[in-house]
């Protein structure tokens, strides 16, 4: 659905107002892109802590795995996004 694709795009770019609006409009917080990644994966990949916090608050699956078997935490760590990783850990992501 278009809202879910847009949610991925908004999370990638850190467009917080758009993330908030799309979530209120019913976008699937755990929608999968063609890579199997969720909006939380792309927020973590790009170090978008504000977007990650909104997605987590909306019920994003912290343990969702992409097609490569990676979780949002692993993505954040691989990319060197310390604050994003800490946000995920504080929310309860498994190490």
Give the residue-averaged pLDDT of 1-26: 89
| DSSP E strand boundaries for 15-88 | none
Counting residues of the chain whose pLDDT is more than 70, the rounded percentage is 95
Map out the domains of the chain as residue ranges: 2-91
Handedness of CA 57, 60, 63, 65 (dihedral sign): negative
Query: Looking at per-residue confidence, does 12 or 2 come out higher?
Result: 12
Give the residue-averaged pLDDT of 29-56: 97
pLDDT of residue 29: 97
Span 2-91 CATH architecture: Alpha Horseshoe (1.25)
Cβ(30)–Cβ(46) below 8 Å:
no
pLDDT of residue 48: 98
């Amino acid at each position: 659905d278009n809202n879910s694709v847009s949610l991925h795009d908004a999370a990638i770019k850190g467009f917080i107002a758009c993330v908030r609006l799309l979530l209120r409009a019913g976008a699937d917080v755990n929608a999968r892109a063609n890579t199997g990644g969720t909006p939380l994966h792309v927020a973590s990949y790009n170090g978008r802590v504000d977007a990650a916090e909104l997605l987590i608050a909306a019920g994003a699956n912290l343990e969702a795995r992409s097609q490569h078997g990676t979780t949002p935490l692993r993505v954040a760590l691989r990319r060197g996004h310390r604050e994003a990783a800490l946000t995920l850990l504080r929310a309860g992501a498994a190490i």
